[in-house]
């Protein structure tokens, strides 16, 4: 297998790179001065791509690799991979879904509690010596709040299970109704937002979910409502979110993802009712190792003519 070239779209963990290098020819695309010239010269050996949620494989890259057989994504999100082109070419695609479910769900709960109780602002209140001058202002409780979840897949279901333990009624909106979930399904996002106090975005990014959180949804959530996004930044119309927070039309937001990462609107940074996190939903040592192991296992399975562990296409 050492002659099989694996194209890495961006730097990833040293562990993942080392594990791939033990079995294949690791190609670090970011170290190549002329990618076009390199691909033209080595295209026959490049038979696999490893990407992630930010740097996947678009149609241009896929078309430039005529011998490409598999894309093993270090992510559960597939919005950065041209799946249509992969199906046309018969290119296999794998992801790392179950390895990160618990970690992302944990972060969602953390963001909910940190946002409604304004934990980051409390931290600054203490650090800046303001506690000696005055008590911190009252916040609102998290327990018992009605939580709406957009997307009741693996991650959405894990969030629902966790937040239910806080005595929070749960409802959801999804492409298909989950008949055995035990949670109320709403026919659209507007109705879901109208009937909840905390709205969590946990769906995949597709054409239909791009800017699924728009002005109408934000206004339905209202000045006492909170938005939590652990999906993708493009799920939210960011300028509309910023204006709603600045104008007080939305109570607060907990955000792990942004529309133009790593750029974050300056206005969000100055708001104490917003908790900002640098897309770290899967960023623990345990989860990243599990994800890396699954990426490698899928590559090994494919080139050993064995069934893929987590096939998407």
Task: Give catalytic status of residue 261 as yes or no.
Answer: yes
**Which class for 258: exposed (0-12), middle (13-18), buried (19 or more C-beta within 10 A)?**
buried
Q: State CA 98 to chain mean position distance.
A: 13
Q: Is 279 a catalytic residue?
A: yes
Rounded Cα distance, 194 and 278, in Å: 29
Contacts of 26 (CB under 8 A, 6+ apart): 6, 8, 17, 20
Other CB atoms within 10 Å distance of the CB of residue 228: 28
Question: How do strand 198-201 and strand 184-185 relate by DSSP bridges?
Answer: unpaired
Measured in whole angstroms, the distance separating CA 124 from the mean position of its chain's CA atoms is 27
Beta pairing partners, 200: 149, 228
Catalytic: which of 88, 216, 261, 306? 261
List the beta bridge partners of residue 72: 50, 94
The residue annotated as part of the active site, out of 23, 215, 249, 279, is 279
Angle at 289 between CA 286 and CA 295, to 5 degrees: 145
Q: In the annotation, is 232 catalytic?
A: yes
Return the exposure string of 83-115: e unless at least 16 CB atoms fall within 10 Å of the residue's CB, then b: bebbeebebbbbbbbebbbbbbbbbbbbbbbbb
Bond from prior residue into 59 cis (ω within 30 degrees of 0)? no
Q: Which of 47, 125, 232, 302 is catalytic?
A: 232
Residues carrying an active site annotation: 232, 261, 279
């Amino acid at each position: 297998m050492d002659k099989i070239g694996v194209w890495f779209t961006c730097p990833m963990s040293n562990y993942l790179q080392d594990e791939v290098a033990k079995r294949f020819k690791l190609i670090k695309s970011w170290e190549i001065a002329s990618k076009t010239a390199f691909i033209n010269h080595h295209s026959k050996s490049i038979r696999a791509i490893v990407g992630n949620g930010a740097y996947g494989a678009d149609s241009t890259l896929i078309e430039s690799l005529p011998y490409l057989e598999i894309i093993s994504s270090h992510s559960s999100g597939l919005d950065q991979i041209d799946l249509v082109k992969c199906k046309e070419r018969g290119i296999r695609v794998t992801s790392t879904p179950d390895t990160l479910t618990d970690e992302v769900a944990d972060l969602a709960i953390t963001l909910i509690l940190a946002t409604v109780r304004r934990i980051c602002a409390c931290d600054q209140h203490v650090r800046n010596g303001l506690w000696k001058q005055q008590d911190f202002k009252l916040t609102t409780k998290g327990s018992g709040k009605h939580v709406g979840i957009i997307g009741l897949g693996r991650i959405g279901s894990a969030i629902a299970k966790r937040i239910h333990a806080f005595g929070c009624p749960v409802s959801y909106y999804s492409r298909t109704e989950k008949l055995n979930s035990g949670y109320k399904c709403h026919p659209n996002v507007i109705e879901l937002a109208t009937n909840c106090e905390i709205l969590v975005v946990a769906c995949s990014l597709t054409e239909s979910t791009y800017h699924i959180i728009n002005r109408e949804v934000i206004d339905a959530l209202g000045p006492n409502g909170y938005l939590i996004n652990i999906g993708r930044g493009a799920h939210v119309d960011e300028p509309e979110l910023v204006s709603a927070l600045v104008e007080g039309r939305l109570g607060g937001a907990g955000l792990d993802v942004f529309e133009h990462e790593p750029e974050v609107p300056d206005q969000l940074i100055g708001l104490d009712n917003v908790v900002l996190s640098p897309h770290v939903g899967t960023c623990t040592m345990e989860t990243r190792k599990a994800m890396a192991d699954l990426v490698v296992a899928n590559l090994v399975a494919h080139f050993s003519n064995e069934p893929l562990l987590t096939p998407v296409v």
